[in-house]
Every structure is written in structure tokens, then in C-alpha cells.
Chain A
Amino acid sequence: MNTIISKDILSPSIKRYVIKNSKIAAKAEAGQFIILRVHEKGERIPLTIADYDREKGTVAIVFQEVGNTTQKLGEMEVGDKILDFVGPLGVPTTLPQGDNIVCIGGGMGIAPIYPEVKSLYNKGVKVTGVLGARTKDILFFSNEMDKICDKLYIVTDDGSQGRKGFVTDVLRDIIKNDNKIDGVIAVGPLPMMKAVCDITKVHNIPTIVSLNSLMVDGTGMCGGCRVTIGDEVKFACIDGPSFDGLKVDFDEQMRRLKMYKEEEEKVLGCKCGGEC
């Protein structure tokens, strides 16, 4: 259990692992996540289930090395075992109704959007895909997405692949040209999801986003993952991580994600190899 079956390097900092865990594979649905721990002194970090194969009993994760734990995870090799791997956590995304859905994945958000597009595709829904990234080196899954999207748009901030600009530029055009969009799913950095919702709110298009709050247990026990949705406080790990984007307090989320910035930088800065 929890053995790494394959390791793909999608970009210098983004990796995709397929991991053996038949219990999680049997249950996983689009929108759910796992929590893992790399070693005995390690922290618990949440990662989206980027794909699953019930027959083979495997789940895939895609992660970007942004700090201590994701870097240690990235150093692991095929055959290694991940110490703790628990899930599937969270509630599956309630996919929007209708047959004209726009799915927007920004940066690392492309990983979680993939199983959602796949579910929609399997139901025969026409999906317009929009993938955005800072630059082409960190853009992944465009071939896989092309196969399951009715139309696929690619944008990069620097124009190194696809159109130059932001996913919201594409979204505005789609709204202008398409007669009716039934719903939008947007997953990516908080500012991106916020910008998307600012647009869809005006057109009153149901929008689902996925929130990446700080988590510890992932079982509703600590309340660290709390998010404000409309006038209610919810726990992202058991009530989400998908929420009605038109109601999310994005500013609060952006602020809460910075809670441990100083500590995180400190641990990265130290080169003692764990001896200090």
C-alpha cells in the first residue's frame, strides 16, 4: 500500500505520481483529496486526487514543489512508500447541471479540474476547457484535456503557449460569443478564482470553485480549514473543498493561507538537513 508506481516529471517543479491504494481508488470521486505524510516528523498536507483507476487500485496526485513537504515528496522515487496516505477526503464536487459547461484550470488547478472534466465527459456533457499558466513550462495535461474537451483554450501570461493573457480574458470571450453557459468550474490560485467569480456573478452563471485552505487532520476536528461561504462558516475538509464560488469570501482565504509564511520560509532557509 501507498507505493509509488510511477513518477512523471511534468515540469521541473511539477510531478505526477501514481500511488497504489485500492481502498482510496475504490471510493474516489472528482473533487476529493487525500492527506499524506512523507516521514515520521513530517506535516500532513492535502493534495487533490488527480485521477483514479478502480481496477488497478491506484490514485494519481499532481503537485508543485512549493515548500518543505512538497520538496521532500518530490525526492521520492518509484517503489518508495508514502508513510501515511488517507482519503478520499471531502465531498465529491456536485457538478453543474446543463450541457454547456466551462471548466477553467489555472496553474496547479489543472490537476483537480481534470477528473471533473472527465466525469462530465463520461456523462456526455459538452465541456469547454480553459487552461492557464504563467508560462508554457508549467502547463501540463493539455493533450489529456484536449481528448475530453469539446473545445480547449490555452493561455499563458507570457504568451509562450496559446494565447497571451489570463483565463478571464478567454472566459469573457466565451460569454460574449456563446449564447448560453450553464455553469463554470474554476480551480486555481485564489486570485484567479476570485477574478472568474467577479465575471460570472455579473452574468449570474453558477460557478463552482475548490478551496485550498490550510489543513491539519482533514476530518473536521481542528477547524483550521474554516472558510466563509455567504454568511456561514464552513470547514473546507468536510463541507468542501468545492463551494459555490459566488458566495466565497476570497479575501479572507488569501489572508488565511499566509498564516505560516514566516515559519515556512524559515524551515526552507535552513540547510542543516534536519539536525537543528
Chain B
Amino acid sequence: MPYQDPKKRIKNFDEVSLGYDKDLAIKEAKRCLQCKKPSCVKGCPVGIDIPSFIKEISNDNYKGALEKLKEKNLLPAICGRVCPQEDQCEKLCIVGKKNEPIAIGRLERFVADNQKMTSKLKPGLEGEKVAVVGSGPAGLACASELLQRGYRVTIFEALHKPGGVLMYGIPEFRLPKDVVEQEINQLVDMGVELQTNMVIGQTITLLELLEKGYKAVFIGSGAGLPFFLNIPGENLNGVYSANEFLTRANLMKAYLYPKWETPLRVGKKVVVVGAGNVAMDSARTAMRLGAKEVSIVYRRSEAEMPARKEEIFHAKEEGIEMNLLTNPISIEGDAEGWVNKIRCINMELGDPDESGRRRPKPVKGSEFTIEVDTVIMAIGQGANPVIPRSTKNLNLNDKGNIEVDSETGQTSIEGVFAGGDVVTGAATVIQAMGAGKQCAESIDKYIKNN
């Protein structure tokens, strides 16, 4: 697939992957063997009929292809871009055994970008009311599935814009915000009511929603609570959580400051701690905001990096350095309280831990210092506590995630369901969507039986 030249793209926020044109798409589609028992489908958390949509592309029938996609996935332009396909559908593609697997995600994106769906559904004015909390992929998927089953759905979103991480976390150069807006607008056109600036647990509580006539509630509030390492110096000026850094850049468009009015300070030397997608996004954003040197600090080795391979590759291409087997031990600052150094220690890999990855251990006496003026902590997020704190009897697990029945997605409160990152901890867009759909099905059953 064509990409923007790394030298050019580190100076702009335009999309890195340019997408297939028609010829490339048809050529790629024709490589698909149209398997009778397609293994690729098993790798897709929402079970898209992959061979069928690909067949429509090779037939030059993009409308048909989009219809096939939308049977299972209402956000194909988004998933085609950000799904970790190499670990999902494409990993199981039979062609991939000997050659490059079919580029399912890229084809999905091609269809969604080139064929606009005209919304079909009208608002279901008679159905029962269901509330959806959070407008990330889990909430959006749940809402659309409920709508198709005839319910009246209201989404309550805390921020001023819907989309969750799609809007505030994943950067423009990887997932353009107008793509996200377009896909969400389609839902609104189909009849979902969207209320922004509504923090459930503050503006109105979850239990009040049930009292107000919503027959069931779905919680898709995500894993928005940023973790810190709890090392000295983390509150120095110039130390950000990745969430803050990315929210300022994406949702608030600080890269267009001062035209857009939210400021963001990026120094010349930036260290990002962590090696997931969030870390890569932070590092690449910092580079585009004018940093001269950006490096990743990660305590394990490249093999364990949780980010998508493609993102690691792009990050390297853009000049981001990888300090692997390195762990921060403290952050130091100048007299005014601005960060200026990060102390690290080298690590080596020991025996496997509970995650099956080899456990990193510090190498005695290997401490060293990196000079920095910005540090971004991208070491993971937990479930946001606003809803649990304000909802009696909502059970959490020991990680603080909402506990649900694995089959139905119902929480400890009758009629209240939950899915996505708030249940699993930080995962993927398509997994969150899968959970949202599954809960919609359970909600349908629950309401019919009550």
C-alpha cells in the first residue's frame, strides 16, 4: 500500500497510509482463494463474511461489498485502519501460510472509503428505551445493534465529542477524525440519540437512568484512567500521561495551536515510556510537534513490544529510537521544576512470568541518565472510577474492571450490562465492538423476558 514519505510525514498530521486505489484493490481481491471454509473469519472478533465482501470487490461491486461488511461491522473505515489484522483475520488467512496473507484490513478500508452507505433505518419510536454510556467502539456497536433490533437508544458521552479513544487517543495521521465523525454520523442519521457533555455518575447516576424509564443500561466507559510508575519526579512539569498528551493533540487539536486554543508543550528531547500502540502514537505525535529526538524506553525486548508491527515499523522509519531492556527509576528536574533527566537501569530477561513473557530483571550497577525535556508515560490504563464510585452494588474485579457474566455481559446489577475496555482492560477496537454487540443481544433477551 502506498505511504507518505517518512521525511515529509514527520512534518504533518496527514494520514500515513494512503490506501489502495481501484486497480490495487481489485488485484489484491483477486488473490483471495474464496475458501469454502474460510479460516480468516474465525480471526475476526465480529465474524465478517470476509470472502464474500472481497468477492464483491473483484466484481467491481463496492456497494455490495459495503453491505456485506455492514452486516457485521458498522465501522469498517475505522477497523480497516486500526485493527491489529496481523493478529486477527490476516493471521489465519490460508494464503499467509506460504505468501503474504490477503490484506483484508486494507480492502475493508478501501470499500468504506470509496462507497458511502446511505442510512436505511428510521428512528424506532415505539421500542423500549435503552441507555448506552460511553461512545467508544463498544458503545457505538451496542447502540447500532440495539437500534436494528427496534429499540430507542440514547448514548451518553462525557466529552464534548463522541468516539472515545477513536477521537481522543488515536492520532489523526493514523485515523483521520473526519473518518470517525462520518461513521458516527451515520449512526445518528439512523436514529441513535446522542447526548454529549453527560458524565454518568456526576450529571446523572446510572441507577437514575433505570428510574427514568431506560429498561436497560450498557456501560462502555472504557479504560481511561492513566497509570503512572510511582517513581520520584513524575509530577515534574513536562511529564505527561499519554492520555493527556494525546487528548491535547487529537481531541483538542493542539497541533493547530494557537488557531485551536489548547496548548501543548513539546520539548526537543522526548522520552516515551512503554511500547504499546499508545506509546508509538505518543512518540510519533511528539515528532510531528517538533521534537528533535524521540525515544521509546521499554523494559522488555522488541519481541515483547505490544504495539502493532506496522506501527513499530513506521515509528522507526520516522526516526524514533528504541531503548529496549531499559527501565526508568526516577525523573529529575531543574530548579524551576521542569524535567531535565530520566534515570534508567538496564534490564535482562529472566524466566517467563504469568503473561508467558520473560520477566525483565534489573542489571546491577547499570544505571544511566538520559537528558530530556519531555517525558510521556504510556504504561497502560485502568477502568475509570467515576461510575463504580457512584453506583452501589456494581461489582469490580481485583483490577478495578467491571465484573460481568461472561456469557451475557450482565453486571452484578440486573439490567445493567458492560463491555469493552471497562471489562477487559485496554484491548482493541474490534474486541470492544464485539462485546458491545454481544451485550445488545443480551439486552434484547433481557427486555423480552421481563
Q: Which residues of A contact B (CB under 8 A)?
A: 23-24, 27, 37, 41-44, 68-69, 83-89, 216-224, 226, 228, 233, 238, 252, 255-256, 258-260, 262-264, 266-267, 270, 274, 276
Contacts and interface: CB of A to CB of B under 8 A. Distances in A.
Given A27-B202, A27-B204, A88-B202, A274 B259 contact: yes
Interface in B192-244: 196-199, 202-204, 224-226, 228, 230, 234-235, 237-238, 240-241, 243-244
A10 to B, nearest CB: 25
Contact of B386 (A37, A238, A262, A266): A238
A216 B252 contact: yes
Contacts of B262: 43-44, 216
Contact of A86 (B203, B237, B257): B203
Contact of B226 (A221, A238, A258, A270): A221
Contacts of B202: 27, 87-89
A222 B243 CA distance: 5
Contacts of A218: 199
Contact of A221 (B225, B237, B238): B225
A263 B252 CA distance: 15
Given A84-B160, A86-B197, A228-B235, A220 B384 contact: yes
Contacts of A85: 197
Contacts, number: 119
A68 B168 CA distance: 23
A222 B247 contact: yes
B158 interface: yes
19 contacts: A41-B261, A44-B262, A68-B261, A84-B197, A86-B160, A86-B197, A219-B224, A219-B386, A221-B225, A222-B226, A223-B228, A223-B244, A228-B235, A233-B235, A255-B237, A258-B237, A259-B237, A266-B258, A267-B263
Contacts of A41: 253, 256, 259-261
B83 interface: no
Interface in B3-45: none
A3 B44 CA distance: 47
B158 A86 contact: yes
Taking each of A37, A224, A276, which has the highest tally of chain B beta carbons within 10 Å of its own beta carbon?
Answer: A224
A219 B204 contact: no
A131 to B, nearest CB: 30
A258 B241 CA distance: 18
B400 to A, nearest CB: 12
Nearest to A239: B385
Taking each of B159, B224, B238, which has the highest tally of chain A beta carbons within 10 Å of its own beta carbon?
Answer: B159
Given A41-B253, A221-B224, A221-B225, A267 B261 contact: yes
A223 B261 contact: no
Contacts of B261: 41-43, 68-69, 267
B68 interface: no
A216 B248 contact: yes
Contact of B337 (A69, A222, A255): A255
A219 B199 contact: yes
Q: Which 3 A-B pairs have the closest CB atoms?
A: A263-B263, A222-B244, A221-B224
B228 A219 contact: no
B377 to A, nearest CB: 8
Given A219-B384, A259-B238, A260-B263, 5 more contacts: A216-B262, A219-B199, A238-B385, A255-B337, A263-B263
Prevailing SS type, chain B contact patch: loop
Contacts of B263: 43, 260, 263-264, 267
A222 B237 contact: no
Interface string B148-187: 0000000000111000000010000000000000000000
B258 A84 contact: no
A89 B258 contact: no
Contacts of B159: 217, 219
Contacts of A86: 158, 160, 197-199, 203
Contacts of A84: 160, 196-197
B259 A44 contact: no
Contacts of B240: 223-224
B310 interface: no
A41 B265 CA distance: 18
A262 B199 CA distance: 32
A222 to B, nearest CB: 4
Contacts of A264: 263
Taking each of A219, A226, A274, which has the highest tally of chain B beta carbons within 10 Å of its own beta carbon?
Answer: A219
Contacts of A88: 202-203
Contacts of B226: 221-223
Contacts of B386: 219-220, 238
A89 B197 CA distance: 11
A86 B199 CA distance: 8
B336 interface: yes
A23 B198 CA distance: 9
B228 A233 contact: yes
B197 A220 contact: no
Contacts of A256: 235, 237, 337
Contacts of B225: 220-221
A249 to B, nearest CB: 8
Nearest to A266: B258
Nearest to A275: B259
Contacts of A221: 168, 224-226, 243, 247, 384
Nearest to A39: B261
Interface string B330-368: 000000110000000000000000000000000000000
B165 to A, nearest CB: 10
A226 B261 CA distance: 22
B197 to A, nearest CB: 4
A274 B259 CA distance: 6
Nearest to A67: B261
B222 to A, nearest CB: 8
Nearest to A268: B258
B235 A252 contact: yes
Contact of A255 (B158, B196, B336): B336
A241 to B, nearest CB: 13
B385 A87 contact: no
Contacts of B260: 41
